[in-house]
A and B are shown apart, each in its own frame.
Chain A
Amino acid sequence: MASKIEYTQVRKWFLVGIAAVVAGCATTGGSGGGGYGLPPIPEGKGRLMLETGGINEVNYYVLDGETGEEIHSESPRMAASSPIGYETGYRSLPQFVDLDPGRYTVVVNTDIDDSVEKEVEVLMGQEMYATIPIGRFQVIFSDAQGRSQVPFLIFDYNLRTMLGRGMTSTEVRYFIVPVGEYKVRIENSPTNLDEIRPVQISMGQTQNILIGPPPSPAQPGEGGEGDAQP
């Protein structure tokens, strides 16, 4: 008797599980059906989603696996060396593109010479996650006036090869590089500044590099510039 009850319970859970899976399959890409989130996958297409460790804004493009033709590209980020670049907002959804079924190469451009490539196969009606091994770091440079913009170079760990250059920002600004270890160098001869800092990039982690004196906390009664008396 007990074994029959046990069997019935197992069968019930099994059926519940199957029903949940079937429901999940039926709503693939349907998270947009509730009015927010991702829209449904168009008929006859599959979805390629970039899994970038929490970095939801990268410059990338997609090449056809057979012809090598570029069929899609997005470039929302400014160049690392641009003086006007900073993080403009937070994007909660990963980047994605709906493609015809087939094989593709997705290329993610980083802020150094090395790009990250991934070969993927997109299946009709399915979401394919392409894991892109990239991470990010921020260089915060402060002087007597506070945070300021200075150019810096990104080297490989041995300081043998210059891989890229960047510009710090007075705002929040991240630099995206493939996972690995690098060195960042800021040199400014007039001020005798020469800082070399190692950068360890892991997927999904952020490193902040502070150069210069940390901004002192405001004292009680001390106002900002707008409060200054004439």
Chain B
Amino acid sequence: MSPDFLNLIEVILNGLMAGIMYALVALGFVLIFKASGIFNYAQGVMALFAALTLVGFQTGQVPFAHLINAIFGTNVHHWGDGMNTFLAILLTMGVMILFAWLVERFVLKHLVNQEPIILFMATIGLAFFMEGFGDLMWGADIKNMDVGLPSGGSFWWEDVTKTWAAEGAEYYGMYIDVLDVWAAGIAILLVIALTLFSQYTKTGRALRAVADDHQAALTVGISLRSIWVVVWSIAGFVALVAGIMWGSKSGVQFSLSLIALKALPVLILGGFTSIPGAIIGGLIIGVGEKLFEYTIGGMIGGATENWFAYVLALFFLMFRPQGLFGERIIERV
């Protein structure tokens, strides 16, 4: 095979990996949208917050150290050597569940029956709030996330692909980040787990009932409020997974919350209500933007990844406004 062709394959593979990462964030959106009709802009910030909290627990930071120091003139920063990664993940999950409960109690409860766009803007407010809160709690510096996942290029894959190149061609093998492969595996596990949960457990069935019809769910005795807490907790869990993956890949920093924006075109492509749609939409966006950058991007100045996903989604919308797998939008007067 010629090196050009192999390069193309490498680009596509890396695009698929990037797409899985987008899909991880998009999953959280879909879960909340299905169950409550809320388009949760704060999903990206939730991932950031979860990652910050996890690192904070792991390294044993004192929460609000900065604020405490400013008020009392002390100089606290760590309370010890930190804790076991597994324990830290459990604790972070606890924090996310608490957060879900607080959101339901103080925000969503008061916004029932508001227009979707009002709810959307409320989640933008929530995103700002959490961003400020996360930074206030754990500090805004870029942190390293290490939960023991391997990372770096795979030499094995490099060697294998080297043999594919034509005899005598200048080709040095493909680069695949092991972490991305792990992310892909974890994403697949997550989707299987979510599907099993929603198909075979009592709560899962209640979730699907709520997604189907709020009022009908209420009449058969499903508590909407507790379902919302459950959904936001699950979304918090997905955010935690996404936060771990993105955090291990590029450090825990503010730009993590911007992946929420990247997840929007993914959702548009896949449809807001479909879990497989989120995955496939993510893959299409990931491959699409990498391919575009590789083939055309260089000619027009590069860095096209910033906008390509949105423009792709825009063109897509023109032909199929409900997304690939979304339910058909029917409007009545």
Question: A and B: real partners?
Answer: no
| Residues of B participating in the A interface, judged by any CB pair closer than 8 Å | none
